Amino acid sequence: MPTLAIVGRPNVGKSTLFNRIVGSRRAIVGDEPGITRDRLYGEGEWRGRSLRVVDTGGIVPEEKDFMPAEIYRQAKVALEEADAIIMVVDGRTELAAPDIDPARQLIRGGKPLFLAVNKVDTEKQQRLTDEFHRLGIRKLFPVSAEHGRGLDDLLDAIVETLKLEAVKPEPKAERDAEEEVAVEPREVKVAIIGHPNVGKSTLLNLLTGSSRAIVSPVPGTTRDAVDEIVKRDGKSFRFIDTAGIRRKGKTHMMAEKLSVVMARKHLEGADIALLVIDATEGVSALDAAIAGYAHESGRSLIIIVNKWDLVIAGDKSTSRHTKAARMRDSKRPADRSAYEERLRDALKFLNYAPVLFVSAATGVGTEKIFPELEHVASERRKRIGTGEINRFIKQVDFDRASVPARQQVKIYYMTQASVAPPTFVLFTDHQVKLHFSYQRFIENQLRRAFGFVGTPIWIKNRSRD
Note the pLDDT tens digit of each residue in 173-210.
434 433 333 333 468 999 988 877 888 888 988 998 86
Query: What per-residue confidence (pLDDT) applies to 170?
Result: 44
Q: Residue 206: which region, alpha, beta or left (left: phi > 0; alpha: psi -120 to 50)?
A: alpha
| Predicted local confidence at residue 172, as pLDDT | 44
Query: What's the CA angle centered on 306, arms 457 and 55, to 5 degrees?
Result: 85
pLDDT value, residue 95: 86
Region 73-97 average pLDDT: 84
pLDDT band at 165 (very low <50, low <70, confident <90, very high): low
Residues in the chain, total: 465
pLDDT in tens, 45-79: 888 788 888 888 665 555 544 334 554 566 677 78
Which residue ranges make up each domain of the chain? 3-162, 187-380, 386-463
Residue 272 has pLDDT above 90, yes or no: yes
CA nearest neighbour of 68 among 40, 35, 101:
35
Domain 187-380: CATH superfamily is: P-loop containing nucleotide triphosphate hydrolases (3.40.50.300)
Decide yes or no: CATH 3.10.450.350 for domain 3-162: no
Q: How many CA atoms lie within 13 A of 83 on its CB side?
A: 13
Predicted confidence band at 241 (pLDDT cuts at 50, 70, 90)? low
- Read off the pTM: 0.58
Query: What is the per-residue pLDDT across 419-453, written as a single tens digit (0 to 9) for each?
Result: 999 999 998 887 777 778 888 999 999 999 999 99
Note if the bond before 196 is cis, omega within 30 degrees: no
Q: Which CATH class is domain 386-463?
A: alpha beta
Give the amino acid at 286: L
Q: What is the DSSP string of 213-247?
A: S---SSTT---SPEEEEEEETTEEEEEEEPPPP--
- On the question of a common fold for 3-162 and 187-380, the answer reads yes
* 108 vs 243: CA distance, rounded Å: 35
Bridge partner list, 425: 415, 460
- pLDDT number for residue 164: 66
